[in-house]
Amino acid sequence: MRVADADYPGFCRVIWTAHVREMSDLAVAERQLLMDIVFTVEQVIRALFSPDKINLASFGNLTPHIHWHVIPRWHDDRHFPEPIWGRIHQTSPVLRPAVSDEALMGALSHQLSAGVASD
Q: Is the separation of the CB atoms in 82 and 75 below 8 Å?
A: no
What is the overall mean pLDDT for the chain?
88
Decide which of 1 and 115 is more confident: 1
- Domains of the chain with bracketed CATH: 12-97 (3.30.428.10)
* pLDDT tens readout for residues 72-118: 999 999 999 999 988 888 877 777 778 888 888 888 888 888 875 44
Beta partners for 57? Answer: 69
Q: Is the separation of the CB atoms in 107 and 47 below 8 Å?
A: yes
* pLDDT tens readout for residues 25-42: 999 999 999 999 999 999
Q: Is the separation of the CB atoms in 83 and 30 below 8 Å?
A: no
Predicted confidence band at 119 (pLDDT cuts at 50, 70, 90)?
very low
The pLDDT of residue 64 is above 80: no
Which burial class, exposed, middle or buried, applies to 90 when counting CB atoms under 10 A from its CB (0-12, 13-18, 19+)?
Answer: middle
Q: Which residues contact 31 (CB under 8 A, 6 or more apart)?
A: 23
